[in-house]
A and B are shown apart, each in its own frame.
Chain A
Amino acid sequence: MLRRWFLIAVPYVWLLALFLVPFLIVFKISLSDAAIARPPYLPVFSWGDSIIDFIRELDFENFIFLTEDDLYWKAYLSSLQIALIATILTLLVGYPVAYAMARAPEHWRPTLMMLVILPFWTSFLIRVYSWMGILSTEGFLNQFLLWVGVISSPLQILNTDTAVYIGIVYTYLPFMILPIYATLDRLDGSLIEAAEDLGCSRASAFWLVTLPLSRPGIIAGCFLVFIPTIGEFVIPSLLGGSDTLMIGKVLWEEFFSNRDWPVASAVAVVLLLILIIPIVLFQRNQQKQAEADR
């Protein structure tokens, strides 16, 4: 009995200590006022003060401020847009890769899987930096294109949205490939044969059978890319231009350039609320998939 309680308690304690408590702290800061102090907000709770007085000083001013300055909602919208486009691009690149992996000879598959996961062995930051080396005006890509003769003057790719998309697609591709590969790998080959037997060409068998049956993998992959991309900060700051507006960047600037912790916290809380919707949808997709497998 005790043992069971303990086992159940472990994940809850984990969530409480590492998610709920930090969230409550951030939430509390978002209700505070900015101050030139250390920490840079007021009120600071100390034992001995009356709790009621403490709570009275909290208000939703910062959230109201977010609606007044159009920077914030533009940043949220632009993040959603970039995340959406990047997710679609990742899907377009990832699906064929996953499909090819699932159709590859059995003895090749572990190797291919390894190649997909391999980039994780290098630091994410280093990989994004190396894209700067590739995409800059004097970078490898431009040098190569100039050498081949496709272009006569270097392209400005770095510090544009294009570079952000390239970075996101590159970074999150494995998260797209793996769930799609998992559904395609489980797909019974005789279903495709049955479709062809009943009059489908190769292409229509893919469209009518393979694609609908890999939908759970597509949905899972899309969420796994979409959710972290919304709050992405490193890729837009390193690869994007000054006009690349993403909420992660705004958040960072609010915290570290403006040192306005309360507004930054409010931005973070709203971001979390926005993310809850796709996360819940994702969970539901996973649950449905698990039920269908039973």
Chain B
Amino acid sequence: MNAPVFAPWTDQSAEPMIRFRNVTKKFGDFTAISNLNLDIYEKEFFALLGPSGCGKTTMMRMLAGFEEPTSGDIIVSGDNIGHLPPNQRPVNMMFQSYALFPHLSVWENIAFGLRRDKLPKDQISARVDEMLKLTRLEKFARRKPHQISGGQRQRVALARSLAKAPKLLLLDEPLGALDKKLREATQFELMDIQEKTGTTFVIVTHDQEEAMTVASRIAVMDEGKLVQVDTPDRLYENPNSRYVADFVGDVNIIEAKASPLDGDRYALHWSEAEDALIGTTSTALSDGQSCYMAIRPEKIAISADRPEDAANAVQGKVEDIGYLGNMSTYHVRLNSGSLIKAQVANQRRISRRAFAWEDPVWLSWTATAGVVLAD
């Protein structure tokens, strides 16, 4: 049984629902967004990811209509909405602070947008009830926002923003105020709701795990520019830059000088004291070009003896062990002085742990495990 894969961005004929075309946004002298192009497709769950101040919130506020682009066009379903006021856009937003109206009940909060459209009363109440059911809030309809919990408030905010069945729903750090457990549960709930309603979601977050969990595609941003736009697995496995490799997940970055071997294999000279590492990349590197090898800690094997057939093997001493329960992170100090993180699933009980502090160990990984990135 093979469900068709949802990937309109690979389809040349697919028409994007949202297009940012050469969008620049300046606040005084400060350039928040610089000449940015981005396509988002219908029914996507699209994440804007980046550190604070990278411009992701500005992007979202331009979609909602709270900011106007200084130059460039924002096109939603063929209409240039760049200069439309927020109340005339087919877009709704769920605010980071939830922005629930404190003087209105949960029911009235959800009905607020529908009432503005002057819908008949029975239609409004049917739609509100539908939203209450979707977010499992039926019991709290009559309460005021300050009489319910944080998680419930979050769901009211979601229900309110979905009530008008917008073409596009914007979520600004929607789970930021929830604790970790509730956040994880809510992430899956969000995905369910997105699938059920078929709405296009654009989420802004600084939490890469959250983006990886919920999104079909992620745009990693830095200083007003898109660094990489890709699916979560490609971002993780094939980051296009040191910045992305470092921002998404945990990684060891090793600086080296490349020298080509056969095909796409390169020898990476990184330390006088150690053998060259072997890595592959599709980007052509010249002899002696400086580059980085990015290797994820969980792709590194740890052993007492040198493995026979490993393409890359280095020796060192266990300096620290971070015990996370399900896995442990070993910080291994190499003979050359650099520090490498390796992650191992704890398949056995901790008393059976194979390695302890100060143990000499070998770290190894295959030639394709890491990513070689040009400087």
Contacts and interface: CB of A to CB of B under 8 A. Distances in A.
B103 interface: yes
Contact of B64 (A188, A195, A197, A201): A197
A194 B95 contact: yes
Contacts of A213: 101-103
B148 to A, nearest CB: 15
A161 interface: no
A89 B97 CA distance: 36
A212 interface: yes
Given A188-B97, A188-B99, A191-B99, A196 B85 contact: yes
Which of B66, B86, B112 gathers the greatest number of chain A CB atoms within 10 Å? B86
A202 to B, nearest CB: 8
Nearest to A199: B116
Interface string A119-156: 00000000000000000000000000000000000000
Question: For chain A, what secondary structure do more than half of its interface residues adopt (helix, strand, loop), or is it mixed?
Answer: helix
Contact of B164 (A195, A199, A200, A208): A199
B108 to A, nearest CB: 10
Given A191-B101, A193-B86, A209-B101, A198 B164 contact: yes
B87 A197 contact: yes
A264 to B, nearest CB: 46
Q: Interface size class for chain A?
A: 10 to 19
Given A194-B99, A292-B146, A199 B64 contact: no
Nearest to A294: B146
A204 interface: yes
B92 A198 contact: yes
A198 B66 CA distance: 13
Interface in B192-239: none
A274 B272 CA distance: 95
Contacts of B112: 195, 198, 208
A257 interface: no
A248 B95 CA distance: 53
B93 interface: yes
A189 to B, nearest CB: 9
A190 interface: yes
A201 B86 CA distance: 9
Interface string B89-109: 001110111011111000000
Nearest to A198: B113
Given A195-B112, A198-B113, A190 B103 contact: no
B117 interface: yes
A217 B164 CA distance: 32
Interface of A: 188, 190-191, 193-201, 204, 208-209, 212-213, 292
9 contacts: A191-B101, A193-B64, A193-B86, A193-B99, A196-B85, A197-B64, A198-B164, A200-B87, A200-B116
Interface of B: 64-66, 85-87, 91-93, 95-97, 99-103, 112-113, 116-117, 146, 160-161, 164
The 6 A-B pairs at the shortest CB distance, nearest first, are namely A199-B116, A198-B113, A194-B99, A190-B99, A196-B86, A199-B87
